[in-house]
Amino acid sequence: SDLQKQEERGELLQPLIFVLLVLCSVLLYFKVSLMDPGFVKPEEEEGEDKGQGVVIPQIPGDVKLRRCGYCLVKQPMRAKHCQLCQHCVRRYDHHCPWLENCVGERNHPLFIVYLSVQLVVLLWGGHVAWSGLYFEQSREWLQHNIFLLVSFLLIFIFTIVVLLLLVSHLYLISCNTTTWEFMSHHRISYLRHSELENPFDQGIILNLWRFFC
């Protein structure tokens, strides 16, 4: 049969890989959106106090940990209260409206993996949509290809958004800073009073190693 001939020629491998990538992207989306991003719990305060000196020795001694005015837990260094999640989040990066969850210490690496897989899916889908287009200046051509054309334009827009988001996050990770710290540097006490512009930066290689490993 034609299906067996396509299988023998390896023509079914690419569609299968594409479907698996799409499935992986969907699973990663639900994993990142549903998992705990690193909520600070009151019973963990003692453990946080013991580990602060190890995390960042360059911070001046006059910068003290403060209690959150919303949930009343003692905030670890680099934590921030998210009013949408109603929790303080460790190594808070941002609240993602697409995920309806915060991106923080626990799910930030998976968030990067999700963006990477999503980018591959979009590029592949864009290639498929473009390869199906053949251009003619006629009304009938537009009627027969409007779906592919709109699909390609949407995929192109989403690809640009995901690519910019991934590149910006990889840059911030390589500097060992977060979106919140980058955007609000002047308002954060442990950064404003530090002698270094970014006291967390330990070099690109070590920053990437500690984030992903």
Catalytically active residues are 96
Spatial separation of the C-alpha atoms in residues 174 and 194, rounded to whole Å? 20
Spatial separation of the C-alpha atoms in residues 3 and 106, rounded to whole Å? 44
SS3 for 11? coil
**Residues 142-180 as b or e (16 or more Cβ within 10 Å = b):** eeebeebbebbeebeebbeebeebbeebeebbebbbbeb
CA atoms lying within 13 Å on the CB side of residue 130: 10
Spatial separation of the C-alpha atoms in residues 194 and 84, rounded to whole Å? 29
Tokens 């308002």, located at residue: 187
User: Across-strand partners of 67?
Assistant: 74
101-103 and 80-82 strand pairing: unpaired
CB of 101 closer than 8 Å to CB of 32: yes
